[in-house]
Amino acid sequence: RNNAEKFEFQAEVSRLMDIIINSLYSNKDIFLRELISNASDALDKIRFLSLTDKEVLGEGDTSKLEIQIKLDKEKKILSLRDRGIGMTKEDLIKNLGTIAKSGTSAFVEKMQSSGDLNLIGQFGVGFYSVYLVADYVEVISKHNDDKQYVWESKADGAFAISEDTWNEPLGRGTEIRLHLRDEAQEYLEESKLKELVKKYSEFINFPIYIWASKEVDVEVPADEDDSSDEEEHADTSSSEEGEDEDAEKSEDDDAEKKPKTKKVKETTYEWELLNDVKAIWLRSPKEVTEEEYTKFYHSLAKDFSDEKPMAWSHFTAEGDVEFKAVLFVPPKAPQDLYESYYNTNKANLKLYVRRVFISEEFDELLPKYLSFLKGLVDSDTLPLNVSREMLQAHSSLKTIKKKLIRKALDMIRKIAEEDPDESSGKDDKEVEKSGDDDDEKKGQYTKFWNEFGKSIKLGIIEDATNRNRLAKLLRFESTKSDGKLTSLDQYISRMKSGQKDIFYITGTSKEQLEKSPFLERLKKKNYEVIFFTDPVDEYLMQYLMDYDGKQFQNVSKEGLKIGKDSKNKELKESFKELTKWWKGALASENVDEVKISNRLDNTPCVVVTSKFGWSANMERIMQSQTL
């Protein structure tokens, strides 16, 4: 085309496309999911803009927020069109080729090791999956602010953009034309497309139509020249009714008449609606099946592994602030969950206002430590026709957030309550459960803890209001937990009579801590000591001062009291000279004091940290951070 401008794909994008083109990945269907998802995003965007400016929607067909699919068997083209926001020329250049998304190289790496393309949508490069089935792709797009353009590429390292002077004007939106590869002709079968759209569009909130063929019976004249004669015949025969001979004759005439008009099959086309746009969160939780929640989670999280979410909570909040929400605990934590935790906003809740999608980057809905949850909030109280910034400052958000946190913590608490492994340690409260459920719920809290335990600890640090609720969710190993996880409540239930404080020790590993001289006496006297081995635990314990009326005591710090020790005073007195001499001898070593110890058994002496100073473990952590 003479007005085409040529561009080269950014290097990472080009590599990604090569991999996709040459991929042996068998589940090629996923391209359709990605295209529908992009169309739906584009429709969400224009609908959002229309809240503050109705004009943007345009008139007539252009204003219809829908998706259309067409098949052209002769030309071997599958096309998908949306009336979404569209792309300007600049958008086309940037979004489809020259600017790599941050996830691109991560995905390329993952692809090379696993070959699994299923997660492509999570990495923000879903569009390129079209090259699983097509060797030539055209993207025709019209944005309100620009003319209509065509992007095209054969995935040979380059793409071209031309002003569109030959296709039908789109009004607004995007049409993607896939020129299907020979081995992908199945995507021209209507039945296949219908099946796939149904599968992938269950949670798409816009109507999706297919240009569907329909066989209809039409009556056509058998022989056009004779038709008038036959009609006359028919008239005569009916007037001669009653006479036997004539009746016979007239029957013969009928036989002749039959081919007068004949039925033939004719193919007509019409738009057929393929999805039901009733949103799952508007339905009653009782009516939604486990399978539906699982599928909804997959589409929401763009996580198409077959794993079930660990838990979910679907509820309606009523009162001053009304909203519906669905929250999910994912089956696994993403690898980068705690990377640059304090510098990035990773909001994972989608916000809708009265069914209209507003944003998925709304970090006011959940605190950082709960950002591992996925889900959706649909509010009836928030105003629709205001900007995102104004929404962000709306007073109901605080109430929504508060309720969401409560519900989220309840949901997590329930994972523990329903886990038979958790209750096995408790003798007081037996949780009733059916056998089948037991199997599925068994070990779930340990699994949760291994994936997201750090978030609970960060919550204790960040969220003073819910600190106690979060502390209940805390798990750790201890000198008596027998290699399993235990909780503060369980610890307290095992406390010795007369024991006032909750004892803990921090370090790099359980193995190292078990040998610690600080534990000698405590162990001998049968006191339980918690092992905290995660670097974040040191910070955690600066915030978690008490639980259930009991103080926490680091056993490597000053202030440890183990029952009553009557000999103590005597010993102090008799070793006074020695301790004094030691203090003098260690004067240059920053030693504050030398004392007779009540915590040792075999070890002759040990270095203890002052009550408000850093523990030795904390010193180690701080040093490794500054290195």
**Could you list the residues that contact ligand ADP (CB under 6 A)?**
34, 38-39, 41-42, 82, 84-87, 95-96, 124-127, 174
Tokens of 409: 């913590």
Concatenating the DSSP letter of every residue in 241-279 gives TT-HHHHHHHHHHHHHHGGGEEEEEEEEEEEEE------
The 3-state DSSP composition of the chain as helix, strand, coil percent (nearest 5) reads: 40, 20, 40
* Residue corresponding to tokens 């009523």: 318
**Which range of residues in 15-23, 34-42, 90-98, 219-227 is near Mg ion by CB under 5 A?**
34-42
Q: How many helices (H) and strands (E) does the chain have?
A: 21, 19
For residues 299 and 381, which CB has a smaller minimum distance to ligand ADP in the complex? 299
The distance of closest approach from Cβ of residue 89 to ligand ADP in the complex, given in angstroms and rounded to an integer, is 13
- Asked whether residue 125 is marked as a ligand-binding residue, the answer is yes
The binder of 84, among Mg ion, ligand ADP, none, by C-beta within 5 to 8 A per type, is ligand ADP
Max Cα-Cα span within the chain: 146
Exactly one of 84, 86, 97, 126 binds Mg ion (CB under 5 A); that residue is 126
Sheet with 323-329, strands from edge to edge, namely 311-317, 323-329, 374-379, 349-353, 356-359
The distance of closest approach from Cβ of residue 141 to ligand ADP in the complex, given in angstroms and rounded to an integer, is 7
Concatenating the DSSP letter of every residue in 183-200 gives GGGGGG-HHHHHHHHHHH
For residues 79 and 617, which CB has a smaller minimum distance to ligand ADP in the complex? 79
C-alpha pair distances (Å), 589 with each of 128, 296, 539: 64, 62, 26
- Asked whether residue 95 is marked as a ligand-binding residue, the answer is yes
- Asked whether residue 545 is marked as a ligand-binding residue, the answer is no
- What are the beta bridge partners of residue 553? 503
**Which range of residues in 67-75, 118-126, 174-182, 358-366 is near Mg ion by CB under 5 A?**
118-126
- Asked whether residue 205 is marked as a ligand-binding residue, the answer is no
The distance of closest approach from Cβ of residue 37 to ligand ADP in the complex, given in angstroms and rounded to an integer, is 6
Confirm if 513 and 533 have CB atoms less than 8 A apart.
yes
For residues 101 and 510, which CB has a smaller minimum distance to ligand ADP in the complex? 101
For residues 100 and 488, which CB has a smaller minimum distance to ligand ADP in the complex? 100
**Which range of residues in 45-53, 122-130, 253-261, 444-452 is near Mg ion by CB under 5 A?**
122-130
- Amino acid occupying residue 116: D
- Asked whether residue 101 is marked as a ligand-binding residue, the answer is yes
The binder of 391, among Mg ion, ligand ADP, none, by C-beta within 5 to 8 A per type, is none
For residues 86 and 331, which CB has a smaller minimum distance to ligand ADP in the complex? 86
**Which range of residues in 120-128, 172-180, 362-370, 505-513 is near Mg ion by CB under 5 A?**
120-128
For residues 126 and 507, which CB has a smaller minimum distance to Mg ion in the complex? 126
The binder of 39, among Mg ion, ligand ADP, none, by C-beta within 5 to 8 A per type, is ligand ADP
- Asked whether residue 126 is marked as a ligand-binding residue, the answer is yes
Does position 79 interact with Mg ion (CB under 5 A)? The reply is no
- DSSP H or E segment with residue 623: helix 616-626
The binder of 42, among ligand ADP, Mg ion, none, by C-beta within 5 to 8 A per type, is ligand ADP
β 477-478/529-532 pair status? antiparallel
* Residue corresponding to tokens 């229309």: 50
Q: How far apart are CA 108 and CA 414, in angstroms?
A: 38
User: 391 to 450, contacts with Mg ion by CB under 5 A?
Assistant: none
Concatenating the DSSP letter of every residue in 61-92 gives GGG---EEEEEETTTTEEEEEE-S----HHHH
For residues 95 and 118, which CB has a smaller minimum distance to ligand ADP in the complex? 95
Contacts of 438 (CB under 8 A, 6+ apart): 420
- Asked whether residue 388 is marked as a ligand-binding residue, the answer is yes
The distance of closest approach from Cβ of residue 123 to ligand ADP in the complex, given in angstroms and rounded to an integer, is 8
Question: If you ran DSSP here, which 8-state letter would residue 368 be given?
Answer: G
- Amino acid occupying residue 490: Q
For residues 127 and 293, which CB has a smaller minimum distance to ligand ADP in the complex? 127
The distance of closest approach from Cβ of residue 46 to ligand ADP in the complex, given in angstroms and rounded to an integer, is 9
- Asked whether residue 315 is marked as a ligand-binding residue, the answer is no
The distance of closest approach from Cβ of residue 51 to ligand ADP in the complex, given in angstroms and rounded to an integer, is 18
Confirm if 378 and 324 have CB atoms less than 8 A apart.
yes
- Asked whether residue 123 is marked as a ligand-binding residue, the answer is yes
The distance of closest approach from Cβ of residue 116 to Mg ion in the complex, given in angstroms and rounded to an integer, is 17
Contacts of 512 (CB under 8 A, 6+ apart): none
Q: How far apart are CA 424 and CA 410, in angstroms?
A: 21
The distance of closest approach from Cβ of residue 305 to ligand ADP in the complex, given in angstroms and rounded to an integer, is 18
- Asked whether residue 323 is marked as a ligand-binding residue, the answer is no
- Asked whether residue 277 is marked as a ligand-binding residue, the answer is no
For residues 122 and 162, which CB has a smaller minimum distance to ligand ADP in the complex? 122
- Asked whether residue 299 is marked as a ligand-binding residue, the answer is no
Tell me the residue nearest to Mg ion as measured from the CB.
Answer: 126
For residues 39 and 78, which CB has a smaller minimum distance to Mg ion in the complex? 39
Concatenating the DSSP letter of every residue in 91-148 gives HHHIIIIIS--TTHHHHHHHHHHH---TTGGGGT-GGGGGGGTEEEEEEEEE-TTS-E
For residues 38 and 104, which CB has a smaller minimum distance to Mg ion in the complex? 38
Exactly one of 19, 38, 184, 362 binds Mg ion (CB under 5 A); that residue is 38
3-state secondary structure 533-567: CCHHHHHHHHHCCEECCEEEEECCECCCCCCCCCH
The distance of closest approach from Cβ of residue 481 to ligand ADP in the complex, given in angstroms and rounded to an integer, is 44
CA 373, 378, 380, 381 torsion: positive or negative? positive
User: Binding site, residues?
Assistant: 34, 38, 82, 87, 95, 101-103, 122-127, 174, 388
User: Binding site for ATP, residues?
Assistant: 34, 38, 82, 87, 95, 101-103, 122-127, 174, 388
- The residues of the shown chain that bind Mg ion, judged by CB under 5 A, are 38, 126
